[in-house]
Amino acid sequence: MKFFKHALALFAASLLLPSCGGDVESARLASDSRASEKIAQTLYNSAVAAEKAGKLGRAIKIYEKIVLRHPLCPAASESAFRWGKLLEKDGSLLEAFEAYDAILAKYPGSPHYAEAMERQEMIATQVAEGQIKDSFIGIKMRFRPKRCAAMLAKVRQNAPRALSAEKAQYAIGRIYQSRGNHTTHVVLAITAFRELTRDFPDSKYAPDAQYQIGEILLEQSRKGNQDSANLDRAKQAFEDVLIRYPDSKQAKMAKAQIVKLASGDIQRSFEIAEFYREKGQILSALVYYRETVRLSNPGPLRTSAQGWINKLSTP
């Protein structure tokens, strides 16, 4: 019985040990936290003083230090915003973009959250449009499409239901379209525009996004010697504009492109017929001459095709 009581006492004591250790650890963490907050606040006061004195470079470094070394302290949120604003004022817009992103990612409760989002969107748009100037030599800089697209993707991610998300997605497509000499850029441009029409079908940018898909494919067909696959896809893209956005200005443009494509189809049919006729493959030539007559309106091309049909069909 005495043994049992002794064992029970030891067991009870063992239960208390983790609790005591936990209290000590909690006390230590609380002490560290208070110390960190005090350091952060002291740094913040120094940064504000430097800013007021016009020492922007020093203030920027201190605000950055607070955000990176004391991210959980009350002063960190305000420091991140001041950091971004001063970087922007100093012309370091790419760094300012990252500072604002820190607010959006780490401090959703910040009173500056909405403004940080707005400033970030503005910077991303400037990058996309090539408007950012080098702070030293004052000339426009041209950034890699991947860098621009990544910044715009963050804008969309930070506010997926806002108008800025639609605008950012459209801008991604236009960036890759403007650098469309590379096959990868062509694919990425079409993908971006398709994502816009899929995710934001009612967006004011959607009609033009769908139309630009057709334009890209049409341009690729020209570079590929009238590649029929791209021409067919371009025609489908333009037809989708008519179906999905019949009242848009892009619908009129798409209709005009479809008419041009149809005219091109007729010309190609006639040229193929001529090719087969010169090779002596009369039956194949007749197929394409008849296709030319079927598709064309009265005119020289149709008259010529009909003439060859009559001549080649005569026994």
pTM: 0.70
Tell me whether residue 292 is in a domain. Answer: yes
**What distance in Å separates the CA atoms of residue 198 and residue 59, rounded to the nearest whole number?**
45
- Does residue 130 have a pLDDT over 50? yes
Q: What is the DSSP string of 112-173?
A: THHHHHHHHHHHHHHHHTT--B-TTT--B----HHHHHHHHHHHHHHSTTSHHHHHHHHHHH
163 and 223 in a single domain? The answer is yes
**What distance in Å separates the CA atoms of residue 254 and residue 12, rounded to the nearest whole number?**
82
Q: For the chain, what percent of residues have pLDDT higher than 70?
A: 83
* Domain housing 292: 266-315
Q: For the chain, what percent of residues have pLDDT higher than 90?
A: 49
CB 127 within 8 A of CB 94: yes
| Domain stop point among 80, 113, 146 | 113
Residue range 247-286, pLDDT digits in tens:
999 999 999 999 888 777 788 788 888 888 998 899 988 9
Tell me whether residue 27 is in a domain. Answer: no
Q: How many CA atoms within 13 Å lie on the side-chain side of 60? A: 16
Number of compact structural domains in the chain: 3
Residue range 179-196, pLDDT digits in tens:
866 888 999 999 999 999
CB 36 within 8 A of CB 73: yes
The domain spanning residue 223 has which CATH number? 1.25.40
Q: For 265, phi and psi rounded to 5 degrees?
A: -60, -40
pLDDT at 17: 44
The domain spanning residue 61 has which CATH number? 1.25.40.10
Tell me whether residue 243 is in a domain. Answer: yes
**What distance in Å separates the CA atoms of residue 236 and residue 213, rounded to the nearest whole number?**
10
pLDDT at 41: 93
Residue range 72-90, pLDDT digits in tens:
898 999 999 999 999 999 8
pLDDT at 261: 82
Tell me whether residue 136 is in a domain. Answer: no
Question: And the tokens for 307?
Answer: 């003439």
239 and 270 in a single domain? The answer is no
pLDDT at 131: 60
**What distance in Å separates the CA atoms of residue 228 and residue 222, rounded to the nearest whole number?**
10
- CA dihedral defined by 12, 15, 20, 26, rounded to 10 degrees? -160
Give the C-alpha distances (Å, rounded to integers) separating 263 from 192, 230, 242, 270: 30, 16, 19, 11
- Does residue 204 have a pLDDT over 70? yes
**What distance in Å separates the CA atoms of residue 73 and residue 229, rounded to the nearest whole number?**
59
Tell me whether residue 14 is in a domain. Answer: no
Q: How many residues does the chain have?
A: 315
